[in-house]
Amino acid sequence: MNQESEMKMEKVVITGLGVVAPNGNGLTAYEQALRQGVSGIRQHEHLAAAKFACQVGGIPQGIDEIKHNYLSDESLLAMNDAMVFGAIAAIECWRDAGLPEPGEETDWNTAAIIGTGISGLDTIGEKLVPLTDAGKVRRLGSTIVEQVMASSASANIGGLLGLGGQVTTNSSACTTGTEAVANGYHMIKQGLSQRVLVGGTEGASKYSWAGFDAMRVLARGYNDDPESASRPMSASAVGFVPGSGAGFLMLESLSSAQARGARIYAEVLGADVNCGGQRNGGSITFPNPVGVQRCIKTALKRADIKPEQVDLINGHLTATMADPYEIKNWQAALGCEASDLPLINSTKSMIGHGLGAAGGMECVASVLQLAKGFVHGSLNCKDLHQDIEPYAGSVVHETKTIDAQILAKSSFGFGDVNACVLFKKY
């Protein structure tokens, strides 16, 4: 067997995690919040001032107090929210993986795929457009481009960590973070890199969220009760709660992880990313069910596991009309009776929908659950949607201790795009 074939057979493992989330910054705080069902959703005055119908959102708290522990004052001058959230989570992930503090040398063995959905709109809305329209271009400063380019977060992280592999940005709407994990997995399987930092980051700008409010897909009627606003799988769901933050995983070939004695959280067994082509009922905003089911089935095939081996599902589950369809697609893809659907939960019930960062934060939650032997509950769904009632025994309401071996993580996004990743406890 030649060296290339051996590399393609490499197992891909997770050696580091990093997170900045609305309900907890850092792994310890995030895990505790997941276990205890702590919501990070709050009412925000800047949304009220902009006359949003939905004035609640998930925004990481206490960032101004901790960002100076990670970043210099000079570097912060050239960063917007998405860059700051991403930088902190990336540094946390790097350290959690037990890698040496970045020095003067380039790390040629580590790549990065840093996803984002609508990054940089805060800088564009608050600075670029107003100053340009006012004829004050000279006041934009020398760092404006690095804050508004689509690859701002990945470029920033590549420099902070001294990465020498491919450093790039992916963007596929709400599938972005999970797609980054899938793409990084394939990079390692193909022998293109020993390690890949993967995930997503998203800022909390009103400019990023305004379009969704205009579409009337954000949660309305809970401005005075923000922790009840995100209601995945619920009969009283009224739309998703916008969220923000960052979540990253350090993917690594098993041989590399073992050679340096790294702690291993889980293995990535397989993954698939596809598009439903906006056919068969699919559209820019709604998934083609055949595409969703094919994505799940292909991920299972690549992982070489049977549907009945899946113990947990961390769903996309946004608290919109799509939730019942998502669960029905899982049942169809797994070929099981409604009563036999694996346990399923929604991290968005606690943090809202982080758009391009959603998959990253939720993949971190997924791996923590596998590695630490628990499954977190979903908030605000005691009143299950009538079409989800047949699956009631699978919906997790309160955190449980469980020795699960395989978790399936899914994400679906505008454009009829889908992603599914299968994690196995190591």
Chain segment 202-241, per-residue pLDDT in tens: 999 999 999 999 999 999 999 999 999 999 999 999 999 9
The phi, psi pair for 423, rounded to 5°, reads: -105, 145
Task: Report domain 3-259's class.
Answer: alpha beta
Chain segment 110-123, per-residue pLDDT in tens: 999 999 999 889 99
Strands 406-413 and 56-58: unpaired
Strands, E, within 171-322: which ranges?
Answer: 195-202, 245-253, 266-275, 312-314
Q: Residue 9 has what pLDDT?
A: 79
What are the sequence ranges of the domains in the chain?
Answer: 3-259, 271-425
Task: Give the three-class secondary structure for 126.
Answer: helix
- Output Rg (C-alpha) for the chain, integer angstroms: 20
- Decide: residue 243, CB within 10 A, 0-12 exposed, 13-18 middle, 19+ buried: buried
7 pLDDT higher than 80 = no
Confidence of residue 8 (pLDDT cuts 50, 70, 90): low
Task: Report domain 271-425's class.
Answer: alpha beta
- Beta-carbon contacts of 381 under 8 Å, excluding residues fewer than 6 positions away, are 231, 232, 233, 234, 346, 349, 395, 397
User: For the chain, what percent of residues have pLDDT higher than 90?
Assistant: 97
Query: What's the CA angle centered on 67, arms 64 and 70, to 5 degrees?
Result: 170
143 pLDDT higher than 90 = yes
**Which residues are the active-site residues?**
174, 316, 353
180 pLDDT higher than 70 = yes
Chain segment 308-363, per-residue pLDDT in tens: 999 999 999 999 999 999 999 999 999 999 999 999 999 999 999 999 999 999 99
Structural contact between residues 306 and 406, judged by C-beta atoms closer than 8 angstroms: no
Structural contact between residues 115 and 177, judged by C-beta atoms closer than 8 angstroms: yes
Q: Decide which of 3 and 46 is more confident.
A: 46
Q: How far apart are CA 420 and CA 296, in angstroms?
A: 6
